[in-house]
Structure 1
Amino acid sequence: MKVLLADDHDLVRETIAAFLESDEGTSVTAVSTLDEVIDAIGDEAAFDIVLLDFEMPGMNGLEGLGKAQARIGKTPVGLISGTASRDVAEKALEMGAAGFLPKTLPARSLLNAVRFMAAGEVYAPVDFMAKRDEEPEHQFHSTLSPREQEVLVGLTQGLSNKEIARDLNLQEVTVKLHVKTLSRKLSARNRTHAAMIAKETGFV
């Protein structure tokens, strides 16, 4: 099985590639932007499946998924993400994505899911797709703007302002302002305290 994997976080990309290549007969070509994906696709028969990180440079939300699908034709294209919502997953599947893979999937489940999609099936983890329907809306959804929520998720992942800015296609100074505003709204002393509050209240 030949896999084209795209993720802009070096450690995440290398870890997922290692998981996949632990399966005998699987080879992974790893890139970090949508432009590199388009360049690597080349001829339709080169890969059995393409995996795209939802947050990487060039994606612009689900627009990048559509571009990759148009480029590669019938080859399955799946979406991977550590932060995308159930709504994003549903829209991706409606667009014809081969599946949606949360980055929290165990290694064995990830490998099985990729095999499943490469075989022409559609994969979406049942617990992830059902979970959001069962959960009431978190209080932060009404107190924080959507962008502030995205920045807060980045804080809980231990990302710097520069890394969050890169992931969200924002200026670093804009992220700094969001951190200041959401910290005020959460009565947090600093970014670390804001991340702790998010985790303690079940936001992430």
Structure 2
Amino acid sequence: MRILIADDHDLLRDVLRSYLEAESGFAVTTVADLPQALAAIAAGPAFDLVLLDYAMPGMNGFAGLETAIAAAAGTPVALMSGLAPAGVPEKVLACGAAGYLPKTLPARSVVNAIRFMAAGETYVPLDLARPTPAAAGSDNVLSPREREVLTGLCAGHANKEIARDLGLREPTIKLHVKLICRKLGARNRTHAAMIARERSLC
């Protein structure tokens, strides 16, 4: 899995690269600003995920994110930041990004989120994911992949079984389960399955 990390903080870049490369299956390229990131994207081969720092040189806010998304031509692009002002995660997703990563996330959560987004999913930490009131309780709040995972929950399958059936990694399923519980207002996976049955979602 090829990951491009663009951040102007040397220490963060190096720590994140070291942590990812200690995991199996990661090849990491790092750069310090948006122009270098765009050059790396253009040089190829294609990355599985591009991770950009919100405040690094060349970004100019969301304009840099939109430029990178256009340049990546289908490759997931995500934003990371040390701060999360109100509304930023929503704006990031509205731009078409794969997700938003606060730099305060634990290292293990970062790795799981990166795998999640590289697999084509959208990631925002649960405490920042605020479904609109109009979406609450609506079938449309669940993505197609979340519906597939929910079907597995309703069948009483463990995360490992759902991961095998869908051809995904178990940490990815765990993230989906957390998001499903959040969106359905469920206390746990069993409660989510009960709500799904009541709403005829599975």
Report the TM-score range of the alignment, normalised by the length of the smaller protein. 0.5 to 0.7
Alignment of 1:58 with 2:51, yes or no, is: no
Cα offset for 1:129?
A: 3.4
Cα offset for 1:12?
A: 0.9
Partner of residue 41, structure 2: 41
* Whole-angstrom distance in 1 between the partners of 2:46 and 2:93: 23
Partner of residue 114, structure 1: 114
Q: Which runs of 5+ in 2 are unaligned?
A: 131-202
Cα offset for 1:9?
A: 0.5
1:5-154 counterparts in 2 under 5 A?
5-42=5-42, 45-130=45-130
CA pair 44-120 structure 1, distance change in 2 beyond 3 A? farther
Secondary structure at the aligned position of 2:3 is classed as: strand
* Whole-angstrom distance in 1 between the partners of 2:126 and 2:108: 16
Cα offset for 1:19?
A: 1.8
The answer to whether the 8 A contact 1:20-1:28 is kept is yes
Cα offset for 1:77?
A: 0.1
Q: CA RMSD in A?
A: 1.3
* Whole-angstrom distance in 1 between the partners of 2:89 and 2:19: 22
* Whole-angstrom distance in 1 between the partners of 2:84 and 2:34: 17
The answer to whether the 8 A contact 1:44-1:72 is kept is no
What is the CA deviation profile of residues 152-182 of structure 1, one whole-angstrom value per residue up to 9, with x for unaligned ones? Answer: xxxxxxxxxxxxxxxxxxxxxxxxxxxxxxx
The answer to whether the 8 A contact 1:43-1:72 is kept is no
Secondary structure at the aligned position of 1:36 is classed as: helix
State the one-letter code of the partner of 1:37. A
The answer to whether the 8 A contact 2:81-2:101 is kept is yes
Q: Which runs of 5+ in 1 are unaligned?
A: 131-204
The answer to whether the 8 A contact 2:89-2:128 is kept is no
Secondary structure at the aligned position of 1:129 is classed as: coil
Q: If each structure's helix is expressed as a fraction of its own residues, which one has the higher value?
A: 1
The answer to whether the 8 A contact 1:48-1:75 is kept is yes
Aligned-pair identity (%): 55
Aligned length: 130
State the one-letter code of the partner of 1:126. L
The answer to whether the 8 A contact 2:34-2:57 is kept is yes
Cα offset for 1:43?
A: 5.2
State the one-letter code of the partner of 1:48. D
What is the CA deviation profile of residues 111-163 of structure 1, one whole-angstrom value per residue up to 9, with x for unaligned ones? Answer: 00000000000000011335xxxxxxxxxxxxxxxxxxxxxxxxxxxxxxxxx
Partner of residue 171, structure 2: none
Cα offset for 1:17?
A: 1.2
Question: What TM-score results when the alignment is normalised by the length of structure 2?
Answer: 0.62
* Whole-angstrom distance in 1 between the partners of 2:86 and 2:117: 19
